Amino acid sequence: MTPSQKAGPHEAPTRYGIDRPTLGELITEWREPRYRADQVWDALYRQHIPLEKATALGKALRERLTTTLPLVLEPVTEQRDARDRTRKWLWRCLADGAEVETVLMRYPTRATVCVSSQAGCAMGCTFCATGQAGFERHLRADEILEQVARAAHTSDQRVSNVVYMGMGEPLANYDAVWASVERLHADFGLSARHITVSTVGIVPGIRRLAKEELPVTLAVSLHAPDDELRDQLVPLNRRYPIAEVLDAAQEFSEARGRRVTFEYALIAGVNDDTARAAALARLLKGFPGVGGAHVNLIPLNPTAGFPGHKPTAPAMGAFARSLESGGVTATVRRNRGTEIDAACGQLRSRERDQPVAAPSVRMSP
Ligand code: SAH
Ligand code: SF4
């Protein structure tokens, strides 16, 4: 059976879905020299150039490849911040029109891509634009990988880090997410430590992650130290309360010997009081792994469906100091890219409200 016959009508190979053996078979079927397969693979995963620009392949082969291995996302909008350190894309999935977002953040020593793992999200966190919009579907691994590749094509710096912090709950789409993680490691050459899976606290998923061979980094979105408040912000807490989430995170940390990061979206007058900081420190102090637990404090990004706002800078500083004096390290995250809506699900919701958002470049199809 030839590679082009092997894939059924719904599984035709795609640009970042085809694996290396199948590409080899395709190249042989086309009666091209074998080294061509290495060249193609190199262009896809090492050179960070679009296949259309891989001139070493020659025009005819390039054209045949780009038609046979189609891309699966088309850009709806692309935004950049003023200094061009952050870029954000809203993509339309060619399979069904679902829209997802990707962000590229370039820093002096690293470049990070934030990917979506689902179109929408079923978890319903009240302050999150994606949660407010509801669930559409899981993304496939090639749809996740193409987000990284296409962001990398625009970066003069090598993409060193990938975080699953865009739209969706990665552990609710475990198999596709894990397939993409393995290929980021094997094909894009990313170190597992530089791949961060962020979860709202799906306990069986965290335990499964703890048993995987690749030691990825885990981030757990906590947002409150007590179940009463967390129940309101994160509906999944009613199924997996804080104690169970922390127990699973501890298992992960012990299995890996690595510290776990906890994300905490700071919402003025809701979860930002220093009593809660002290309670959070009590919960996380003595967490296993080198350096214990670390808390990332994220100032709330405003969303249409939630009335809260971020605390003042002094209030956030006081919260961080209170955590530190309780023995837990904390970083107040700069809300990178807020000016271009580079936060979970916000670009898409804005686009839906206003078909052409002012600061964005609307791409022609
Ligand atoms: N579903 C996963 C990963 C995607 S969300 C999770 O919840 O962890 C990535 C991070 O963005 C999470 O920590 C989430 O709580 C946070 N987030 C979502 N909406 C936000 C908002 N409006 N302001 C600040 N942080 C937000
Ligand atoms: Fe889903 Fe994460 Fe948003 Fe919650 S915060 S709704 S889990 S994407």
Q: 93 an active-site residue?
A: no
Q: Which of 47, 98, 53 has the alpha carbon at shortest distance from 74?
A: 98
For residue 315, pLDDT over 60 is answered with: yes
Predicted local confidence at residue 230, as pLDDT: 98
Note the pTM of the prediction, 2 decimals.
0.92
Closest ligand 2 atom to residue 234 Cα is 4
Half-sphere exposure of residue 325: CA atoms within 13 angstroms, side-chain side: 10
Q: For residue 354, what pLDDT band results from cuts at 50, 70 and 90?
A: very low
Predicted local confidence at residue 217, as pLDDT: 96
Q: 40: CA distance to ligand 2 center in Å?
A: 37
Place of tokens 């700071």: 266
Q: 344 an active-site residue?
A: yes
Report the largest interatomic distance among the alpha carbons of the chain, rounded to a whole angstrom.
70
For residue 62, pLDDT over 60 is answered with: yes
Q: For residue 256, what pLDDT band results from cuts at 50, 70 and 90?
A: confident
d(C-alpha 340, C-alpha 365), whole Å: 21
Which among 32, 78, 99, 101 is annotated as catalytic?
Answer: 101
- Say how far residue 186 (Cα) sits from the centre of its chain: 18
Predicted local confidence at residue 96, as pLDDT: 97
Which residues of the chain are in CATH 1.10.150.530 domains? 18-68
Which residues of the chain are in CATH 3.20.20.70 domains? 73-340
**Would you say domain 18-68 falls under CATH 1.10.150.530?**
yes
Predicted local confidence at residue 338, as pLDDT: 52
Q: For residue 107, what pLDDT band results from cuts at 50, 70 and 90?
A: confident
Kindly give, in sequence order, each residue whose CB lies less than 8 Å from that of residue 348, ignoring residues fewer than 6 positions away: 90, 99, 100, 101, 129, 130, 133, 167
Kindly give, in sequence order, each residue whose CB lies less than 8 Å from that of residue 310, ignoring residues fewer than 6 positions away: 266, 267, 268, 299, 300, 301, 302, 316, 335
Place of tokens 């891989």: 54
**Tokens for 292?**
């214990």
Mean pLDDT in residue range 283-289: 85
Instruction: Tell me the sheet residues that pair with 105.
Output: 86, 112
Q: Read off the amino acid at residue 124.
A: G
Mean pLDDT in residue range 101-110: 92
Instruction: Report the CATH fold assignment for 73-340.
Output: TIM Barrel (3.20.20)
Q: What percent of the chain has pLDDT over 70?
A: 88
Q: Give the residue, out of 298, 331, 349, with the most ligand 1 atoms within 8 A of its beta carbon, to mutate for a pocket test.
A: 298
| DSSP string of 50-112, one letter each residue | -GGG-GGG-HHHHHHHHHHS---EEEEEEEE-TTSSEEEEEEEETTT--EEEEEEEE-SS-EE
Q: For residue 82, what pLDDT band results from cuts at 50, 70 and 90?
A: confident
**Tokens for 277?**
């900081």
d(C-alpha 98, C-alpha 94), whole Å: 8
